[in-house]
């Protein structure tokens, strides 16, 4: 890969032309851009919120073993015989006169107060709450993997765009240098006489090459502008910037490294965890047909005109729902959902395996082609140097020079195309990489 950049350097030495961008265009490195995009991205913020929601739900589900407490109270006026009798009984202030027919039937309006503290501790619920706790934990892990996937995907997309901008930036420099050299040749030599068909044909060839380079430059600028617009919008910066000079190969190896081996992608892991969570949800539905056993306690404070008193109640409860329409087919529905999630996880695993093998093979082929292009650039760089010397000595005509320079343009276009495809493949392979270098 190093020979690819060496050829570019030789090319600039041969042409002896320097080029500089407008002074108002600030140089920006990838780290600065990625830091800005990472902090601004609504997509990442949304994924973080989803992960936070899942974390809160998991924390809540993990507290299922704690007792539930409730406090209730009321203060009221009544002439209801039964309520009056038992309210005075709760105050432990019953008198013998309270059992007379007149007192029982017409107690009159009386004021009473009741404050009650209740506690309940489930001991056995058929494993429902434990299954729900496990399901919530799996769901939390799944959302965390999706957050990782979102960040890795955005990092890969941004690095891909930046790498392609860097490639186009360097290609523009070479195209501009080549255009400048052609303009010098056209201005230095008198080739345009129609009485000299050979010279006139060479001039036409050089002018056609000049127009071709202008077209290539416009294509490069248009593509670069689109990539810059996307990055600048996400990063919240002005589009008038240029990338810090650097080697495309080195940038890609640093920011879009090739995975050493296939590891499960974050999406694949998220699907697997979602399937495990769905299985736990199905297990929790089985508890609908099982009894529930637990402890309960109640402490009440009764007050009224005669006084106040506390009452304490504690014991064991049994709850067993024998039939409710709401429970109908819930277990079978949950089991079907679990099977569906399992199939999705298997499909995700198969697809990522196929994708990894295809991307790896294609990226390797592109790397080989880039090496060949690099070698060809070195050869053409030497050929260009010789051709320019022969042209200046009058040994060859302008048409031969134009043909040689046209091959340089062809090779430049090939390199930009190959680099773009190679960068895209490396970007797609980032799903199989570790988190290092992505999350700050």
* CATH match for 2-63+129-284+336-432 among 3.30.70.141, 1.20.1250.20, 1.20.1600.10, 3.30.1440.10: 1.20.1600.10
**CA 374/CA 393 separation, integer angstroms:** 29
First to last CA, the chain: 29
Cα torsion through 328, 331, 337, 342, rounded to 10: -170
What is the domain partition of the chain in residue ranges? 2-63+129-284+336-432, 74-127+295-327
Cβ atoms of residues 273 and 138 within 8 Å: yes
Longest CA–CA span in the chain (Å) reads 142
What's the sign of the alpha-carbon dihedral 217, 219, 224, 229? positive
Tokens of 63: 């507290």
pLDDT tens digits in sequence order for the chain, 440 residues long: 434 333 444 333 333 333 333 445 688 999 999 999 999 999 999 999 999 999 999 999 999 999 999 999 999 999 999 999 999 999 999 998 888 888 889 999 999 999 999 999 999 988 889 999 999 999 999 999 999 999 999 999 999 999 999 999 999 999 999 999 888 888 776 555 554 544 677 788 888 999 999 999 999 999 999 999 999 999 999 988 989 878 899 999 999 999 888 888 999 999 999 999 999 999 998 888 889 999 999 999 999 999 999 999 999 999 988 888 888 888 899 999 999 999 999 999 999 889 999 999 999 999 999 999 999 999 998 998 898 889 888 888 888 888 989 999 999 999 999 999 999 999 999 998 765 545 44
């Amino acid at each position: 890969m190093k020979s690819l950049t060496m050829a570019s350097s030789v090319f600039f030495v041969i042409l002896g032309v320097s080029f500089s961008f407008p002074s108002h265009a600030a140089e920006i490195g990838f780290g600065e851009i990625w830091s800005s995009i990472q902090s601004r991205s609504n997509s990442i913020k949304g994924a973080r919120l989803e992960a936070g929601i899942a974390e809160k739900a998991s924390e809540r589900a993990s507290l299922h073993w704690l007792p539930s407490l409730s406090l209730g109270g009321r203060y009221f006026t009544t002439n209801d015989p039964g309520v009056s009798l038992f309210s005075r009984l709760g105050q432990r202030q019953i008198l013998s006169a309270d059992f007379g027919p007149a007192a029982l039937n017409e107690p009159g309006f009386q004021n009473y107060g009741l404050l009650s503290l209740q506690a309940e501790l489930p001991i056995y619920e058929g494993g429902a709450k434990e299954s729900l706790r496990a399901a919530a934990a799996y769901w939390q892990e799944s959302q965390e993997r999706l957050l990782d996937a979102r960040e890795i995907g955005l990092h890969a997309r941004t690095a891909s765009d930046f790498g392609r901008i860097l490639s186009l930036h360097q290609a523009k420099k070479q195209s501009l240098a080549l255009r400048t050299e052609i303009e010098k040749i056209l201005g230095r030599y008198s080739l345009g006489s129609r009485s000299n068909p050979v010279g006139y044909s060479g001039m036409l060839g050089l002018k056609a090459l000049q127009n071709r380079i202008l077209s290539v430059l416009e294509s490069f600028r248009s593509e670069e502008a689109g990539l810059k617009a996307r990055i600048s919008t996400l990063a919240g910066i002005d589009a008038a910037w240029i990338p810090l000079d650097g080697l495309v190969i080195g940038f890609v190896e640093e920011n879009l490294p090739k995975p050493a081996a296939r590891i499960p992608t974050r999406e694949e892991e998220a699907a697997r965890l979602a399937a495990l969570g769905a299985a736990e949800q199905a297990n929790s539905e089985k508890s609908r047909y099982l009894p529930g056993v637990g402890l309960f306690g109640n402490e009440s404070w009764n007050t009224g005109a005669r006084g106040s008193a506390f009452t304490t109640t504690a014991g064991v409860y049994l709850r067993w729902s024998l039939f409710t329409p709401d429970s109908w087919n819930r277990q079978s529905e949950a089991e079907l959902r679990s099977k569906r999630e399992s199939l999705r996880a298997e499909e995700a695993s198969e697809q990522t395996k196929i994708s990894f093998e295809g991307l790896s093979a294609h990226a390797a082929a592109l790397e080989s082609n880039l090496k060949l292009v690099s070698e060809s650039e070195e050869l053409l760089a030497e050929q260009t140097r010789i051709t320019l010397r022969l042209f200046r000595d009058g040994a060859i005509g302008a048409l031969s020079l134009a043909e040689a320079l046209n091959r340089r343009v062809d090779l430049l276009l090939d390199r930009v195309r190959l680099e773009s495809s190679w960068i895209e493949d490396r970007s797609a392979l980032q799903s199989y990489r570790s988190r290092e270098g992505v999350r700050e």
